C-alpha cells in the first residue's frame, strides 16, 4: 500500500515536471496557430535552437546557468523576428499545405545546420549546485532541477494567463484570435502583433528546449522528436488558449509518464490512442471551439 502511494507520488511529480516542459514548448505554438492560423512545424526547431544556444553559453562561454538560460531564450526570440519577416509573412494567407511544407523545410535545414555546427552526438549541460540537490515531496526525494522546472512552468503559465487576461496586448491578441478582420477594423496593428507573438512563442519554445536538455539530452533530432508531442498538446488543448495548452500538457505528461511506468510495452501507442479518442470526440480540442 505504502509502496503504491510512493509510486503514485513519483509518477505525479515526474509527470508534472515533464508536463511543464511540454507546456512551455507548446503554448507558443498554440497561440501563434490560433492567432495567425499558421501550422508551424518548425516550432521544434526553435526549441532545439534554445537548447543548443544554452549549451554554447554555458559550456563554451562559461556563463552561469540562469543568465545563460535567459540569454539563450532572448537570442532565439530576437532571431525569430527576421525569420518571421522574411519567411512566415509569406505564408500567413497561403493554404495549409504550403505552411506545412515550408516549415518542414525550415526544420530540415535547422537539423542540418545543427548537425554541422554541433555534430550528431548528444550534448548535455552542467547545472549549478543549487539545482543538483534533492527536495523531499511526500516522503520521496526528488531532484531539485525538476522542482525548478515545475516552478518555471507554473510561473510561465501564470504570467501568460495574467498577461492575456489583464494587459492591453493580451486583449488585442484575444481579439485577433477571435476575429482578425474585426480586430483590424478596431485599429489593432495585426502585423506588429503577429511579429511580437511569434517572437514570444519562439522564445518560449527556446526556454522549453533549454529546460529539456538536462532531462533528455540534446541531439539535432530534438527538433522532430518533440514536435509530435507538442502538436498533440496543441491540438488536444485547442488553439490559442493558454488554459487549454496548460491542461493538455498536464494530461499528456502525466498519462504518458504513468503509462510508461505501469505498462512500458504499450506506452508507445497509449498516447496516440488518447489523441485519436479526444480528437474524435472533440475535434476542436478540449478547450477549443468545435
Partner 1 sequence: MRKRSTSWIMPLALLAIGAGAPQAAADTVKVGVILPFSGMAADVAQSELRAMKLYYKLHKAELGGNDITLIERDSKEPSGATAQTLTRELVVQDKVDMLVGYQFSPDAIASAPFITQAKKLAILVNAQSSYIPKLSPYIVRLSASSWQITYPMGPYAVDKLGCKTAIVGYTDFAPGRDVAAAFKAGYEKAGGKLVDSIAMGGPAQVPDFTPYLQRIKDEKPNCVYIFTPAASFNAALARTWRDQKLAEAGIRFLGTGDVTQDSVLPQLGDNAIGWITGGHYTADLNTPENKKFVAAWYKEYGDKVKPDFFTVQGYDAMAAVFHVVKTLKGKIDADKAVAALKGWKVNSPRGPIMIDAETRDIIQNIYVQKVVKKGDSLGIEVIDTIPAVKDPCKELGVGNCGAGSPAKK
Partner 2 sequence: MAAPESTAAAARARSVADAFLRRRDDARLVEAGFWLVALAVPIALPEHAAFGGQVLIMMLFALSLDFVLGYAGVLTLGHAAYFGVGAYVSGLLSAKLGWHEPLSGLVAAGAVSAAFGALSGWLLLRYRDLTLLMLTLAVSTTLFELANTWSSLTGGYDGLMGIQIAPIFGVFEWDIAGVTGYGYVLAVLLLCFVALRRFTVSPFGQALRGIRENTLRMRAIGAPILGHLTLAYTIAAAVAGIAGGLFAQTNNFITMDVLSFERSAAVLTVLILGGTGRLYGALFGALVYMLAADWLAKLSPVYWEFGVGLLLVVIVLLCPDGLLGLYDRVRAAFGGRAR
Residue ranges in contact with partner 2 by CB under 8 A: 33, 39, 87, 90-91, 94, 96-98, 100-102, 104-113, 115-116, 228, 231-232, 234-235, 239, 265-266, 268-269, 272-273, 275-276, 279-280, 283-285
Residues 289 and 240: beta-carbon distance below 8 Å: no
User: Exposed, middle or buried: residue 54 (CB in 10 Å: 0-12, 13-18, 19+)?
Assistant: buried
CB of 225 to partner 2, least distance (A): 11
User: Which helix (H) or strand (E) segment is 92 a member of?
Assistant: none
CB of 247 to partner 1, least distance (A): 20
Q: Cα(141)–Cα(133) distance, rounded to whole angstroms?
A: 10
Q: Which residue in this structure is represented by grid cell 511543464?
A: 20
Interface with partner 1, residue 209, by CB under 8 A: no
Interface with partner 1, residue 121, by CB under 8 A: yes
Interface with partner 1, residue 255, by CB under 8 A: no
CB of 285 to partner 2, least distance (A): 8
Choose among 6, 5, 12: nearest CA to 147.
12
Which partner, partner 2, partner 1, none, binds residue 108 by CB below 5 to 8 Å per kind?
A: partner 2
Choose among 32, 47, 61: nearest CA to 173.
32
- Which cell goes with 285? 480540442
CB of 24 to partner 2, least distance (A): 20
CB of 136 to partner 1, least distance (A): 12
Which partner, partner 1, partner 2, none, binds residue 172 by CB below 5 to 8 Å per kind?
A: none
Distance of CA 259 to CAs 33, 43, 192, 235, Å? 29, 26, 43, 20
Stretch of 34-42, 113-121, 155-163, 164-172 contacting partner 1, by CB under 8 A = 113-121
Please, which residue, 196 or 215, has the CB nearer to partner 1?
A: 215
Residues 236 and 286: beta-carbon distance below 8 Å: yes
Count CB neighbours of 289 within 10 A. Answer: 11
Residues 89 and 32: beta-carbon distance below 8 Å: no
Q: Cα(69)–Cα(160) distance, rounded to whole angstroms?
A: 19
Among residues 107, 195, 219, 235, the one that binds partner 1 under rule CB under 8 A: 219
Residues 129-158 touching partner 1, rule: CB under 8 A, are 134, 141, 143, 145-146
CB of 44 to partner 2, least distance (A): 13
3-state secondary structure of 286: coil
Binding footprint of partner 1 on the chain (CB under 8 A): 3, 6-7, 10-11, 14, 18, 115, 119-124, 126, 134, 141, 143, 145-146, 214-217, 219, 221, 225-226, 229, 257-258, 260-261, 264-265, 267-268
Amino acid at each position: 500500500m505504502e509502496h503504491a502511494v510512493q509510486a503514485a507520488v513519483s509518477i505525479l511529480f515526474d509527470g508534472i515536471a515533464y508536463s511543464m516542459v511540454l507546456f512551455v514548448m507548446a503554448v507558443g505554438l498554440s497561440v501563434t496557430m490560433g492567432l495567425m492560423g499558421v501550422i508551424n512545424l518548425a516550432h521544434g526547431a526553435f526549441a532545439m535552437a534554445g537548447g543548443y544556444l544554452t549549451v554554447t553559453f554555458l559550456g563554451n562561454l562559461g556563463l552561469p546557468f540562469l543568465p545563460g538560460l535567459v540569454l539563450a531564450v532572448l537570442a532565439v526570440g530576437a532571431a525569430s523576428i527576421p525569420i518571421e519577416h522574411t519567411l512566415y509573412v509569406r505564408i500567413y494567407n497561403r493554404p495549409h499545405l504550403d505552411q506545412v511544407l515550408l516549415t518542414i523545410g525550415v526544420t530540415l535545414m535547422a537539423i542540418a545546420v545543427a548537425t554541422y555546427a554541433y555534430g550528431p552526438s548528444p550534448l548535455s549541460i552542467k547545472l549549478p549546485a543549487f539545482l543538483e540537490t534533492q527536495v523531499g515531496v511526500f516522503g520521496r526525494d526528488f531532484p531539485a532541477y525538476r522542482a525548478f522546472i515545475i516552478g518555471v512552468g507554473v510561473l510561465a503559465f501564470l504570467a501568460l494567463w495574467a498577461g492575456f487576461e489583464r494587459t492591453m496586448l493580451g486583449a488585442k491578441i484575444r481579439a485577433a484570435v477571435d476575429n482578425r478582420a474585426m480586430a483590424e477594423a478596431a485599429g489593432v496593428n495585426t502585423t506588429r502583433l503577429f511579429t511580437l507573438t511569434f517572437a514570444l512563442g519562439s522564445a518560449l519554445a527556446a526556454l522549453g528546449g533549454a529546460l529539456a536538455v538536462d532531462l533528455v539530452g540534446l541531439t539535432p533530432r530534438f527538433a522532430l522528436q518533440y514536435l509530435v508531442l507538442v502538436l498533440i498538446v496543441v491540438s488536444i488543448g485547442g488553439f490559442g488558449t493558454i488554459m487549454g495548452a496548460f491542461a493538455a500538457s498536464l494530461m499528456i505528461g502525466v498519462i504518458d509518464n504513468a503509462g510508461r511506468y505501469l505498462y512500458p510495452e504499450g506506452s508507445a501507442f497509449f498516447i496516440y490512442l488518447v489523441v485519436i479518442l479526444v480528437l474524435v470526440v472533440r475535434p476542436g480540442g478540449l478547450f477549443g471551439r468545435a
